[in-house]
Chains A and B, each alone.
Chain A
Amino acid sequence: MSIYYYLSIFLFCLGLLGTILKKDLISMLLCLELMMGGVALLFILFSKSTGFLDAQLMVVFTLIVSACEVAVGLSLIIALYRKKQTIYTDDIKIITE
């Protein structure tokens, strides 16, 4: 059972790696979701080990927030696509202009 701990942090780090390495925004968001999944798993495990049920509720709320965030993020990507016709971060010079 304790292998799940390692799994959760593995998922978290994998998601982190993907967020850094990927060049298009949608993939970045995908990897972000992966991170969230790993964290949620960790919370559940903590709930199981300490016997508090509060952590499971944390997971619920985390899930809700994550859903909102993905929705807003994707709509932003659509808007950006409409403006710039691209979703790759190479071509987006937001700050300099």
Chain B
Amino acid sequence: MAADILLTFITVVFALMVVFSKRTVVAAFSLLMTLLSIAMIYFQLGTVFLSAVQVLINAGAIAILFVFVMMLINLENFTNNREKNKTKLIIATFTVLVILGVLALVINNNIETLSLVNLADNSMKALFEKLFTTYYLPFEMATVLLLAAIVACVVIASHGKKAEEKQ
């Protein structure tokens, strides 16, 4: 019980820091910590493989990518002193609270059916069996997707460089 609450608390703290910090770098690192704590939650739930995958990809690749890009565009020079739009703030908060409320109510009503059952067969073997038989096609397509994403990034990022060099 305590583990649940502790992990939840940590995640919430870091998530709030992501959204409400003034400096973007702080936000990026907070995201990193959030993802790590989510990975710890996965671990606590028993899905070990996914926890590892989360650390590797999400925390290890994505968050680091964010930090690299921030270094590239020299984020420190920017100060975020734009005027706050109060109207937008109010509307947005209200809307999001409505969504939150609806979802919370949905979960609340169905909480009995959603109570967690500990799986007997929690191993990676069963998971990979599923992956390489039923979901083989998406697996391969994910590969292709990754390749396409790499190519796209290279093209987009380098295009501007060439244009600058020509001038």
Q: Which A residues are closer than 8 A to B by beta carbons? A: 1-7, 9-18, 20-24, 26-27, 29-31, 33-34, 37, 40-41, 44-49, 51, 53-54, 56-57, 59-61, 63-72, 74-79, 81-83, 87-88, 90
Asked if A44 and B116 make an inter-chain contact with CB atoms under 8 angstroms apart, the answer reads no
Alpha-carbon distance between A29 and B49 when the two chains are bound, in angstroms: 26
B residues 99-156 with Cβ under 8 Å of A? Answer: 99-100, 103-104, 107, 111, 113-119, 126-127, 130-131, 134-135, 138, 142, 145-146, 148-150, 152-154, 156
Residues of B within 8 A of A54 (CB): 130, 134-135
Task: State how many angstroms separate the Cβ of A93 from the closest Cβ of chain B.
Answer: 15
CB atoms of A63 and B117 under 8 A apart = no
Question: Is A67 within 8 A of B61, CB to CB?
Answer: yes
Residue pair B53, A60 in contact (C-beta under 8 Å)? yes
Q: Which residue of B lies closest to A90 (CB)?
A: B82
Q: Are A14 and B130 in contact (CB under 8 A)?
A: no
Nearest Cβ on chain B to A8's Cβ, whole angstroms: 9
Cross-chain contact B34 with A74 (CB below 8 angstroms): no
Query: For the side of the interface on B, what is the size category?
Result: 35 or more
How far, in angstroms, from A15 to B115 measured CA to CA in the complex?
25
A12 to B61, CA, bound (A): 21
Q: How far is the CA of A43 from the CA of B131 in the complex (A)?
A: 16
Q: Does B127 contact A57, Cβ atoms closer than 8 Å?
A: yes
Check A71 against B153 for contact (C-beta < 8 Å): yes
How far, in angstroms, from A46 to B46 measured CA to CA in the complex?
13
In the complex, the answer to whether B41 meets A4 with C-beta atoms within 8 Å is yes
Q: Which chain A residue shows the least CB distance to B58?
A: A63
**Residues of the B chain whose Cβ atoms lie less than 8 Å from the Cβ of A15:** 15, 19
Query: Known contacts A6-B107, A66-B62: does B35 contact A79 (CB below 8 Å)?
Result: no
**A51: B residues at CB distance < 8 A:** 117, 119
Q: Encode B75-110 as 1/0 by CB contact (under 8 A) with A.
A: 100101010000011001100110110011001000
Of B5, B38, B57, B117, the residue contacting A67 (CB under 8 A) is B57
